[in-house]
Amino acid sequence: MVAKSLFGLCSDCKELVETREVPRCGKCGSDAIESLGDSCNCFVCESRAPVRFDYKCQNTRPDGVRCHSTKSSGSVAILRALQHGRGVQCSICMDTTDRCSITAVFPDCGCVQCMPCFKHFTETAVQPSESYGDQGIAYGSLRADGEGYFLPPCPVHPGSFFPPETFKVFPGVWRRMKDLASLRDVLEHGAQCPYEDCGSGGWLVDMRDQRPLHCPDCSRPFCGLCRVVWGSVGCPHSRHREMGDDPVFELRAAVQEAMTLGITQLCPQCGVTTSRISSCVHVTCGNCSASFNWPCGQLSSRCRARKHDCQHPSIFMHNNPRMRDEMKRLGRRTTDKMASLTFLELRTTYHLSLLKARFQDERVWKALEAVEPTLFDITTVDHGSGRIALKDIGNMDRLSKIFNCWQLS
């Protein structure tokens, strides 16, 4: 099948890139298929399966490697309103787009904007204003689309909008659009005090002041944009401001980093982020081709020199008798997939255990689990879902009996 060229935001490059829509077999992932609409005949696994589409960044990173060369990098969020537009006339500047490789197209009315005009159109819609109670010209330039988003409409067709995700091309504009939508809602409908024993509401607030807002009746703080109690877990504004003052918020940031380290790893030679897709402990870096072992994260030669048992008794973890005991304890079958999930849980538990020296108070850990019960969950595409138990965090003796590289010196 022919790959379709598209544009989107790369999660690795953090910028707008051109990509391709590559149809693959939904069962084995091969692109050697015969299309049958929503399904396909695969020439590799010789089965009929649903078609899935793969989007990878074609950009070249500063290290000279393309993003799509590693499975852990280069995923692209497609922005379908951005298209090739050579020879099409821009509806704002009226120039043809021969000099412009990308255009923004309104899906409903078909009006086209070249990228310079699209950028100006977007930034103008949310630029600051000195008018009272309005931090932008939102009342004159933004409208609610059919799905409730607050967006600038087509200059010619007021009922036509770009898909909301299109504006993510300009991160500052996207953040401001979301804030202006919340601001307009507060100013039009009034702010309700979120404290249950107060319930004051229906009054307008001047959002030019810094958050938090204070209820004029009970004087307690709350977030004007989220309209929740200041300091609530669901409020990113208060969390960002107070993280350094609260051990629970500080632990949360450390736990998030440890959870990420548990399921990904940096190549010990070039530093590119890598992830495993099987139960084999032997990993080859897609960037520099370095060979290293996943449990210790060290080059294979160094792992052997330090007499680690990362490959005991073979490179497959479901053959490791201590891993098999762990899967039996959890009531899991000793399969490749279950071994991979169990190992991710163990490795993440190891990284979380290293935090115990900084956060020794068990009450802080329990408080974090209470406010964010899903924080210790592991969800992977290839290995399924699991969870880290608090009672296992800090038990380094149990972990080092499975792999001797997991020992505190």
Beta bridge partners of 19: 6, 57
* Four-residue CA torsion sign, 71, 74, 75, 80: negative
SS3 call for 191: strand
| pLDDT of 346 | 92
| pLDDT of 84 | 81
pLDDT averaged over every residue in the chain: 77
Which token pair is 408?
């505190």
Confidence of residue 381 (pLDDT cuts 50, 70, 90): low
Contacts of the segment 34-43: beta carbons below 8 A, 24+ positions apart: 35/1
Place of tokens 């699991």: 386
> Which tens digit of pLDDT belongs to each residue from 287-297?
777 888 888 88
SS3 call for 33: strand
pTM reported for the whole predicted model: 0.44
Residues 380/276, Cβ–Cβ less than 8 Å: no
| pLDDT of 349 | 93
The CA–CA distances, whole Å, from 215 to 176, 190, 210 equal 24, 12, 14
* Segment 200-216 mean pLDDT: 56
| pLDDT of 4 | 56
Confidence of residue 393 (pLDDT cuts 50, 70, 90): very high
| pLDDT of 383 | 65
The share of the chain scoring above pLDDT 70, in percent, equals 72
| pLDDT of 352 | 92
> Which tens digit of pLDDT belongs to each residue from 273-283?
777 766 688 88
> Which tens digit of pLDDT belongs to each residue from 16-65?
888 777 788 888 878 788 888 788 888 888 888 888 877 777 777 666 67
For 61-119, give the DSSP string.
PTTS-BGGGSTTS-BEEE-TTEE--TTPBPTTT--BGGG-S-EEE-TTT--EEEHHHHH
* Segment 156-181 mean pLDDT: 82
Domain residue ranges of the chain, discontinuous segments joined by +: 4-78, 115-180, 190-245, 247-402
* Segment 205-213 mean pLDDT: 52
Beta bridge partners of 150: 144
* Segment 258-263 mean pLDDT: 83
